[in-house]
């Protein structure tokens, strides 16, 4: 399998965390992609018309995107039924948690891109503030939900972990731990997992070879 990726993408991190958890990381070849919201990667666009990462080329010729689809594919390929419960209320709870974690990331990325991608005169502080309010509301909901998540390694927990890790990486000024003691304690334990350590975001493409790190 081949995965179009960037080392700082939280959605790529989610996919690679699942790959480590289910023991498939050694089967994934990483293809660095320089795609941005303003300019697509020609090689990536040939497979994903949206020009977004992550995108996975499977061994049987499919191209899968986005992270939610790829994560479920990897879990099913490995025969794992813990990360994605096959049915029932626990499955829907985990999928809702995934949506919450991804929604936090969507808002955080929009806030970041507003300052990073737009010319200074075209930036909207009001737009950025609105996105960060969504981040704060999502954090409060995560704080309320975590007692039910506990120590389980579901797609919901992985999504929460990658979302909180991204805030540490790109938004340390938000100090998300303030007033959220449950999330602070939970994340301290969860980010110590081998899969989270192996996928911690970094700024240089060549810094780590994910395929050589054992789960």
Residues 68 and 121 in one domain: no
In sequence order, the 6+-apart residues with CB closer than 8 A to the CB of 111 are 128, 131, 132, 135, 171
Q: 33: pLDDT confidence band, cut at 50, 70 and 90?
A: very high
Residues 72 and 8 in one domain: yes
Residues 159 and 68 in one domain: no
Pairing of strands 2-5, 55-57: antiparallel
Residues 177 and 94 in one domain: yes
Return the structure tokens found at 147: 């007692």
Residues 75 and 116 in one domain: no
Buried b (16+ CB within 10 A) or exposed e, 108-144: bbbbeebeeeeeeeeeeeeebeebbebbeebbeebbe
Q: 38: pLDDT confidence band, cut at 50, 70 and 90?
A: confident
CATH code where residue 29 lies:
3.40.30.10
Q: What is the mean pLDDT of residues 133-158?
A: 95
- Structure confidence by residue, pLDDT tens digits, 149-175: 878 899 999 999 999 999 999 999 999
Residues 95 and 186 in one domain: yes
Q: What is the mean pLDDT of residues 135-144?
A: 98
Q: What is the pLDDT of residue 36?
A: 82
CATH code where residue 142 lies:
1.20.1050.10
Task: Compute the distance between CA of residue 43 and CA of residue 171 in angstroms, rounded to an integer.
Answer: 31
Residues 148 and 181 in one domain: yes
Residues 42 and 114 in one domain: no
Residues 120 and 166 in one domain: yes
| Higher pLDDT among residues 62 and 201, named by residue | 62
Bridge partners of residue 4, in order along the sequence: 31, 55
Instruction: Give residue 130's domain range.
Output: 89-193
Residues 100 and 47 in one domain: no
Residues 181 and 202 in one domain: no
- State in Å, rounded, how far the first CA of the chain is from the last one: 18
Q: What is the pLDDT of residue 149?
A: 85
Q: What is the mean pLDDT of residues 5-25?
A: 97
Q: What is the pLDDT of residue 211?
A: 38
**Domains in the chain: how many in total?**
2
Q: What is the pLDDT of residue 212?
A: 35
Q: Taking the model in full, what pTM does it have? A: 0.91
Q: 134: pLDDT confidence band, cut at 50, 70 and 90?
A: very high
Q: Is-contact 156 93, C-beta < 8 A?
A: yes
Q: What is the pLDDT of residue 101?
A: 98
Q: What is the pLDDT of residue 157?
A: 98
Q: What is the mean pLDDT of residues 28-33?
A: 96
In sequence order, the 6+-apart residues with CB closer than 8 A to the CB of 77 are 22, 24
- Structure confidence by residue, pLDDT tens digits, 181-211: 999 999 999 999 999 999 998 654 334 443 3
The candidate with the shortest Cα–Cα distance to 90, out of 155, 12, 165, 22, is: 155
Residues 100 and 177 in one domain: yes
């Amino acid at each position: 399998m081949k995965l179009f990726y960037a080392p700082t993408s939280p959605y790529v991190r989610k996919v690679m965390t699942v790959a480590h958890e289910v023991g498939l990381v050694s089967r994934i070849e990483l293809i660095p992609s320089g795609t941005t919201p303003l300019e697509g990667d020609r090689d990536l666009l040939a497979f994903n018309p949206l020009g977004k990462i992550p995108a996975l080329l499977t061994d049987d010729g499919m191209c899968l995107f986005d992270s939610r689809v790829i994560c479920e594919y990897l879990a099913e390929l490995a025969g794992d039924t813990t990360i994605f419960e096959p049915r029932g209320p626990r499955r829907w709870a985990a999928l809702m948690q995934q949506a919450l974690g991804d929604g936090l990331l969507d808002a955080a990325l929009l806030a970041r891109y507003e300052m990073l991608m737009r010319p200074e005169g075209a930036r909207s502080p009001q737009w950025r503030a609105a996105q960060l309010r969504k981040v704060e509301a999502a954090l409060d909901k995560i704080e309320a939900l975590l007692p039910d998540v506990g120590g389980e390694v579901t797609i919901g927990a992985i999504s929460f972990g990658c979302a909180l890790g991204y805030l540490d990486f790109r938004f340390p000024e938000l100090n998300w731990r303030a007033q959220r003691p449950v999330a602070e304690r939970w994340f301290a334990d969860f980010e110590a997992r081998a899969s989270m350590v192996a996928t911690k975001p970094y700024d240089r493409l060549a810094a780590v070879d994910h395929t050589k790190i054992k789960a």
